[in-house]
Amino acid sequence: MSPSEPPFDRPEQRPSTAGHAADFSALHRILEEAHAELRRAAVLLERVEEPPFDPVPPARAMERALASLYDAFDARREPGDASQRVIAHVDEAVAFLERTRLGGIPGTASMPSHGGVASADRGAVGDGSDPVTRIGEHLGNARRALARGFGVAGSVPGPWPRALQPLRASIDLPRLHDVARPSLVPPLDVEALTPTHAVALPPPIPPPRSFDELRDAVATLKQRAQAAREKTAEPPSLRPSVPPPIATAPTPSPPGLALRFDPALDEGAFLRERARTAFDEIAMAAMQRMPLPGDPWRGSLVLERRLLASLDLLASLGAPAIAHVPRLLADFPVKDPSRVFAASLILGSFAGRDALAAAERALFGASGLDEDTAVAVGAALAVAPHELLPLALRSLLRDAEPWVRAVAVDVLGRRGLATAEELHAATRDDPRVAVHAIVHLAVSFGVAPQGGFEPHLTADDVGLRHAALHAVALAGDPGRLARHLDGAPEGADAGISALLLALAGDEIDASRLMERARQRPTPALLAALGWAGAVPAVGLLLEMLSSAREELRVAAAGALDRITGAGLWEEVEVAAESLDVAVPPTPELGEPRRPRLAQIVSDPRDRPEAPAPDRVERPSTDPVRWRAFWEERGAAFPVQARHRMGQLYTPMVSLRELDEAPRSVEERRLLQVELVVRTGGVVPFDPRDFVVTQERALGAWGGPARAASGSPGRWSRPARKRV
């Protein structure tokens, strides 16, 4: 499999590698190094607060440098000529900054020479006290990298510009589109320096010491105010006369129902409007693509096909529509993760380093990066078909921002591109980075991080501890999970430890879970008993159905259904329009609350009734029904065997549940963990992938699952295969 392909890609869906070597040419690596330095300089320039100089000229020079760099990267121009242009624009930006220093701006120092200085890892150059000097150092480093690339650029074969691949429709997976267009460079977010003028202030009035002096001071202030008004007032004779508006007769309406016609759109406005419509459609589909609890996951295919049709529409609209996509994200008044995902997926589906850089742009906004934005960009890049992703992601691994490194590690891991060395190094990084690296290391290589799991299991960061627990289970070490559960107090750590121990443990571990649940029952412990599948736990779960706490009754019913597959369901009412995220109350504004729209527009004699409560299905919490079922069917469940959904457990049961049952995203992730543990092998699978990719992963799981299903009901598990 090519290192740039997502797992289980169809051959006809694979991105074209025209003009790019499979292992990425030396020229691309040099250009990527220069690109990273230019990006760091641009981000620093955007984040300078109240700059003492006009940032617009160096920003425009950096934009021209990036455009020429993308021309070289994407073979729009002969690489040697394009590299010369980049250097010229870099020198132009340095010259602007040098004039800033010569102009006596405080806090600036001399710009570095054209040779630059060696950039420290993750872009931390300079002493951090002077952003102007640091910008200059990054520009110098970019120039030095480009100078090294001249010898390589001459050996790259033509033609220039390169030949484009024909556009093809996306079939159930996004396709990499190759569209003729100029390099895409979103403008840097800087504002021109507002000129200021010196104002001659009148002499200060001495503090009055008597009433006479106070009256004189007040009179002086009035005189000064009157003089200021007279100075700014304009004589009426000098005011420009404004002609009155010309009254125009109303245009007569044409026959029919139309009162008027809107003016015709020019071609550019039409393309931008169609691009906006397609963008909104992709954002909507992205937001609704994940199935709700109880919905079949294959139902997402309808939304995915709508998403891909809109993506293909953008490709057919051509360069103006593609260039408008970054603006649709930048001009939105609030940060919206669904729009960030849409922009990143769109731009990651068009060939060219410039499009991928525009997708990365959401990570480097002037306002900084937050978790929701990072997650949205990572989710899009994990499924985007761009062929230059490995090169770009490894550049992001050296960024100074932890969230950026977290995105890079997670996407490399999800696409199966991360090396063991990269993941080991990332486990020692910031918790936001390590939380992804430790899981991908266990999934891809079946090993613990260097130094073991203990530092992560005892970390202060809750997310890192939970990721370490998942990694322990994936690495095949249930004994460590049991020890962690024994030492964990009641809370989230204990619940996750119990759940993972149920997936990876044996009958002794199931007995340990049952004893703990008997002493201190919690919903998480009862759910873990259902995943463990031990028949002796049924009696305890039946007792919990009579608990006074509803959450315990619901958890016990779910666990019983998971063990027995009885199908004893009931409909219950939930609040209308119940949401996972609480809606904040309307703030008090000191005004009477406006009535609801339904009350305003409805006839008082026919007001709408209160909304009916929603109804959902869930396992019954009626102890009478469950006891009757167990008295009738309980003898069919061997006490020493492990059960799942009324069957003797084998990995094939987990695979069928993963494939056919309407499970939530989190439950499907747990089933993937169980398959890894119970088969000893690994097949990349993520419930966030496109439906077709998930189906291929499930097909690939068939062989390992069947091979490990020779002893139904057994608790044993094979050793985890190390890579």
Residue pLDDT, tens place only, 213-262: 888 888 888 888 888 777 666 555 554 555 666 666 666 666 666 566 67
**Confidence band, pLDDT 50/70/90 cuts, at residue 120:** very low
pLDDT (0 to 100) of residue 126: 42
Shared domain check, 292 and 342: yes
Is the model's pLDDT at 527 over the cut of 90? yes
pLDDT (0 to 100) of residue 248: 64
**Confidence band, pLDDT 50/70/90 cuts, at residue 338:** very high
User: Residue 25 belongs to what domain range?
Assistant: 20-153
Count H helices and E strands in the chain, helices first: 29, 4
Shared domain check, 721 and 631: no
pLDDT (0 to 100) of residue 387: 93
Give domain status of residue 684, yes or no: yes
Give domain status of residue 170, yes or no: no
686 vs 367: which has the higher pLDDT? 686
Provide the b/e sequence for 285-307 (b: ≥16 CB within 10 Å): bbeebebeeeeebeebbebbebb
Helix (H, G, I), strand (E, B) or coil at 615: strand
Helix (H, G, I), strand (E, B) or coil at 535: coil
Shared domain check, 666 and 616: no
pLDDT (0 to 100) of residue 284: 96
Cα 98 to Cα 102: distance, rounded to the nearest angstrom: 6
Shared domain check, 279 and 144: no
pLDDT (0 to 100) of residue 463: 94
62 vs 112: which has the higher pLDDT? 62
Shared domain check, 687 and 722: yes
- Which residues contact residue 305 at a Cβ distance below 8 angstroms, ignoring those fewer than 6 apart? 172
365 vs 461: which has the higher pLDDT? 461
Shared domain check, 547 and 670: no
Residue after which a domain boundary falls, among 398, 417, 436: 417
Give domain status of residue 457, yes or no: no
Residue after which a domain boundary falls, among 417, 440, 458: 417
Shared domain check, 147 and 26: yes
Give domain status of residue 261, yes or no: no
Of 412, 166, 307, 410, nearest to 692 by C-alpha is 307
pLDDT (0 to 100) of residue 215: 86
Give domain status of residue 55, yes or no: yes
Helix (H, G, I), strand (E, B) or coil at 126: coil
Cα 399 to Cα 533: distance, rounded to the nearest angstrom: 46
Is the model's pLDDT at 614 over the cut of 90? no
CB 639 within 8 A of CB 535: yes
Helices 26-46 and 56-73, packing angle to 10 deg: 160
pLDDT (0 to 100) of residue 129: 60
Q: Give me 240's structure tokens.
A: 């420009």
For all residues of the chain together, what is the average pLDDT?
85
**Confidence band, pLDDT 50/70/90 cuts, at residue 148:** confident
Give domain status of residue 369, yes or no: yes
Give domain status of residue 249, yes or no: no
Please compute the mean of the pLDDT values over residues 67-73 and round it to a whole number: 95
- Which residues contact residue 2 at a Cβ distance below 8 angstroms, ignoring those fewer than 6 apart? 14, 17, 22
pLDDT (0 to 100) of residue 490: 72
pLDDT (0 to 100) of residue 627: 97
Least confident window among 97-101, 126-130, 264-268, 464-468: 126-130
State residue 185 phi and psi, 5-degree precision. -135, 100
Give tens-digit pLDDT for 418-454. 999 999 999 999 999 999 999 999 999 988 898 889 9
Shared domain check, 121 and 24: yes
For 131, other C-beta atoms within 10 Å of its C-beta total 18
Provide the b/e sequence for 308-325 (b: ≥16 CB within 10 Å): bebbbbbbebeebbbbbb
- Which residues contact residue 544 at a Cβ distance below 8 angstroms, ignoring those fewer than 6 apart? 521, 526, 552, 553, 555, 556
What letter represents residue 663's amino acid?
R
Evaluate if pTM is beyond 0.95.
no
Give domain status of residue 209, yes or no: no
**Confidence band, pLDDT 50/70/90 cuts, at residue 461:** very high
612 vs 522: which has the higher pLDDT? 522
Please compute the mean of the pLDDT values over residues 597-601 and round it to a whole number: 69
Give tens-digit pLDDT for 251-310. 666 666 656 667 788 999 999 999 999 999 999 999 999 888 778 999 999 999 999 999
Shared domain check, 623 and 675: no
Of 682, 707, 683, nearest to 697 by C-alpha is 683
Query: What is the four-CA torsion angle of 63, 68, 73, 77, rounded to 10 degrees?
Result: 150
pLDDT (0 to 100) of residue 119: 39
**Confidence band, pLDDT 50/70/90 cuts, at residue 187:** very high
Please compute the mean of the pLDDT values over residues 506-520 and round it to a whole number: 95
Give tens-digit pLDDT for 9-32. 333 343 343 433 433 478 899 999
Residue 554: alpha-carbon gap to chain centroid? 33
Shared domain check, 620 and 672: no
Give tens-digit pLDDT for 368-423. 788 999 999 999 999 999 999 999 999 999 999 999 999 999 999 999 999 999 99
Shared domain check, 25 and 87: yes
Cα 676 to Cα 473: distance, rounded to the nearest angstrom: 9
Shared domain check, 639 and 535: yes
Total domains in the chain come to 4
Preceding peptide of 159 cis, ω within 30°: yes
Least confident window among 17-21, 52-56, 229-233, 617-621: 17-21
Paired sense of beta strands 569-574 and 647-648, if any = unpaired
pLDDT (0 to 100) of residue 245: 64
Residue after which a domain boundary falls, among 388, 417, 446: 417
Is the model's pLDDT at 1 over the cut of 50? no
Element (H, E) at 343: helix 337-347
Cα 36 to Cα 51: distance, rounded to the nearest angstrom: 23
C-alpha distances (whole Å) from 30 to each of 66, 113, 401 are 14, 20, 22
pLDDT (0 to 100) of residue 240: 52
Of 388, 315, 322, 293, nearest to 663 by C-alpha is 293
CB 336 within 8 A of CB 362: no
